[in-house]
Chain A
Amino acid sequence: MYWERDKECMSREDLEQLQLERLQATCNRVAVNVPFYRKKFAELRFDPERLQSLDDLRALPFTTKQDLRDHYPYGLFAVPLREIVRLHASSGTTGQATVEGYTRNDIKTWSNLVARILTAAGVRADDVIQIAFGYGLFTGGFGLHYGAERLGASVIPISSGNTKRQIQIMQDFRTTALVCTPSYALYLADSMAEMGVNPNALSLRVGLFGGEPWSEAMRQELERKLPIKATDNYGLSEIMGPGVAGECTFCSGLHVNEDHFLVEIIDPETLEPVPDGEIGELVVTTLTKEGFPVLRYRTRDLTRIIPEPCPCGRTLRRISRITGRTDDMLIIKGVNVYPSQIEAVLFDIEGTEPHYQIIVEREGRLDKATILVEVVDAIFFDSMKKQRQMVEHIKARLASELGIGVDVKLVEGKTLARSEGKAQRIIDRRNL
């Protein structure tokens, strides 16, 4: 089943013509409407008129997360704000956040592309789809919601949390499709066991999981514990949110919606493209976005192109499931967390370079993050009460900055391991 057969099964030659036309139009527009790109083009002496083939993409500048932050909130939009009908933001409450704007057409395109991903994963118009992603600034909830409505499925916008209620509604509403993070799906399965709910008595048959990397072992576990086919999909808010790529029912790589996104895989060190099939950093260029077009966005996600054709008949090329990151970003409870955010909060409180360590574990099914902070005078008090207050204060500040709750523990000075004078910041004990 296809959502848009004429697009998803296009000949590569026709697709490349379309991609070139769209890339050229996008470059013509950003060169006029986005001062950041105009400046970058000038610095690189890149004349958008010289862009004559898809290979010329390499002459274009990269865009990084830092570029997005530097132009917080609206600096990279290609249209005036009055044409933006929706704003989303990725994690971080201050200057660390990045903001994405959508025009009416962008929302339409987004809905349509998510409908494609849902269809590829096996969701149909007569499915009842429970969306247990958070609704809010995070793109996951709304993205899947709009796509599912576009498809014509019956949407339950339950949002995240309140596990008992999720299970109750899943039973009562006869949910057939589940959308959430894979770890939450496992948590749901375990909670069902505790509650004495038989998963096989549910109407569930398909799950779309995303928002964090997960393994084949986890897929098997999910499919064993829940009566579902578990599929992976990929997106990132800086590009659009969900809808960038998704698995078909063959579950052997994620088809990229290449008529809307140009993907490259580069060596993160040399920034040169790697041959098809080799692992590297995924770089994405938007081809149809009006509000917030992005050229060569460095996702920091590691994957590879799967050049072989897929038995499903789609000609859209696949990327492998994300295998890791090129930077120190952590995904905790589905939220992107950078150590630098934690560092900034601690620095602000302590007034000096903090020594800290982030320990991420999986307690049962859920992520748990603990920040170990070496005591310094600024946060040390003789009175237990005051000391506790300080820890609570740090916790509250971190929760507000990161958007997720973390535990904070104080440790004695100079006890955290340092290698070559540099602290080992992250200990990730989750087995993904």
Chain B
Amino acid sequence: MLKVRNIEAGYGKLRVLRRVSLHVAEGEIVTLIGANGAGKTTLLNTIAGLLPPRGGEIRLNGADITTATPQKIVRAGCSLVPEGRQVFAPLSVEENLILGAHVRRQQEGKRALTEIEHVYDLFPVLRERRTQLAGTLSGGEQQMLAIGRALMARPRLIMLDEPSTGLAPLVVKTIFGIISRLRDEGNTVLLVEQNARAALHIADRGYVIETGRIILQGPAEDLLANRDVQRAYLGHGPANE
């Protein structure tokens, strides 16, 4: 589905991503774990077309999207759920969702909005609050709205950036349950998380990024068993072993 090869990216003089290669196959949940500032968000933004790469190649279902615009990438089937949710606070829940279908509406017209029922089925709480302003939702509901908004574009690949940030543990559990369900319904997921344990538990495969370089990759269960990963990201210090 997604193939990234030798991507270089950065801001000004700062090199953030150094020759990063990864892939996501259809129907997989792949997680990218790493510390703050390792380059996780930069990678998602680069794939989504928000940041032009300085080198390398990105392919989505065989098509070269390395230099494509964000709209084109969404149309090609890849949606990003950004960090911090970024819902439109002064708009209602439903208006937020309709905005998510924006790209499809240009081509499909009203038909693009039928997806909204599917999103409401997935998140019944959003149906309850359809007329409520997004800004008044709880953190977890806002996260559901952000995911729902991305689903309105009917993506084949959903990229989620730190969906658990700032959420209570119980809500985090709900969100990860939803991500698993997305995969079970045939979606493909690229998940960036600081909560490495939760991410690796639902993922098929994972990549570990350190200072812009991929240093480990493999089946999620192998990464969970890797001592470097345990020490650095799962909080298994020598003290609590």
Query: Chain A: residues with CB nearer than 8 A to chain B?
Result: 14, 17-18, 20-22, 24-25, 28-29, 32, 49-52, 79, 83, 103-105, 108-109, 288, 290
List, in ascending order, chain A residues with CB within 8 A of B227's CB: 79, 83, 103
List, in ascending order, chain B residues with CB within 8 A of A14's CB: 23, 25
List, in ascending order, chain B residues with CB within 8 A of A108's CB: 222, 225
Cα separation A14 to B2 with both chains bound (whole Å): 11
| Interface contact A21-B226, CB-CB below 8 Å | no
| Interface contact A17-B215, CB-CB below 8 Å | no
Nearest first, the 8 A-B pairs at minimum CB distance are: A52-B6, A21-B21, A83-B227, A28-B213, A49-B19, A28-B215, A105-B222, A25-B214
With CB as the reference atom, state the residue of chain B lying closest to A80. B227
Query: A17, A21, A79 — which one has the most chain B CB atoms within 10 A of its CB?
Result: A21
**A21 and B19 contact, Cβ closer than 8 Å, known pairs A52-B6, A105-B225, A290-B226:** no
Chain A CB within 8 A of B165 CB: no
Minimum CB–CB distance from B155 to chain A (whole Å) comes to 21
Chain B 1-36 interface 0/1 with A at a Cβ cutoff of 8 Å (1 = within): 001011000000000001101110100000000000
Interface CB pairs A-B, < 8 A, 23? A17-B21, A18-B23, A20-B21, A21-B21, A24-B19, A24-B214, A25-B214, A25-B216, A28-B213, A29-B215, A49-B18, A49-B19, A50-B19, A52-B5, A52-B19, A79-B227, A83-B227, A103-B226, A104-B225, A105-B226, A108-B225, A109-B222, A288-B218
List, in ascending order, chain A residues with CB within 8 A of B217's CB: 21-22, 25
Query: Chain B: residues with CB nearer than 8 A to chain A?
Result: 3, 5-6, 18-19, 21-23, 25, 213-218, 222, 225-228
Minimum CB–CB distance from B151 to chain A (whole Å) comes to 27
| Interface contact B222-A21, CB-CB below 8 Å | no
Cα separation A50 to B18 with both chains bound (whole Å): 10
With CB as the reference atom, state the residue of chain B lying closest to A83. B227
Cα separation A20 to B21 with both chains bound (whole Å): 8
| Interface contact B225-A21, CB-CB below 8 Å | no
| Interface contact B215-A21, CB-CB below 8 Å | no
| Interface contact B21-A24, CB-CB below 8 Å | yes
With CB as the reference atom, state the residue of chain B lying closest to A105. B222
Cα separation A51 to B23 with both chains bound (whole Å): 17
List, in ascending order, chain B residues with CB within 8 A of A28's CB: 213-215
List, in ascending order, chain B residues with CB within 8 A of A104's CB: 225
List, in ascending order, chain B residues with CB within 8 A of A83's CB: 227
Minimum CB–CB distance from B207 to chain A (whole Å) comes to 8
List, in ascending order, chain B residues with CB within 8 A of A20's CB: 5, 21
List, in ascending order, chain B residues with CB within 8 A of A52's CB: 5-6, 19
List, in ascending order, chain B residues with CB within 8 A of A21's CB: 21-23, 214, 217
Cα separation A21 to B213 with both chains bound (whole Å): 11
Minimum CB–CB distance from A302 to chain B (whole Å) comes to 32
Cα separation A14 to B21 with both chains bound (whole Å): 13
Cα separation A24 to B56 with both chains bound (whole Å): 14
With CB as the reference atom, state the residue of chain A lying closest to B226. A105
Query: A18, A32, A103, A105 — which one has the most chain B CB atoms within 10 A of its CB?
Result: A105
**A25 and B5 contact, Cβ closer than 8 Å, known pairs A49-B18, A49-B19:** no
Known: A24-B19, A28-B215, A52-B6. 18 other contacts (CB 8 A): A17-B3, A17-B23, A20-B21, A21-B21, A22-B217, A24-B21, A24-B214, A28-B214, A49-B19, A49-B213, A51-B19, A52-B5, A79-B228, A103-B227, A104-B225, A108-B222, A108-B225, A109-B222
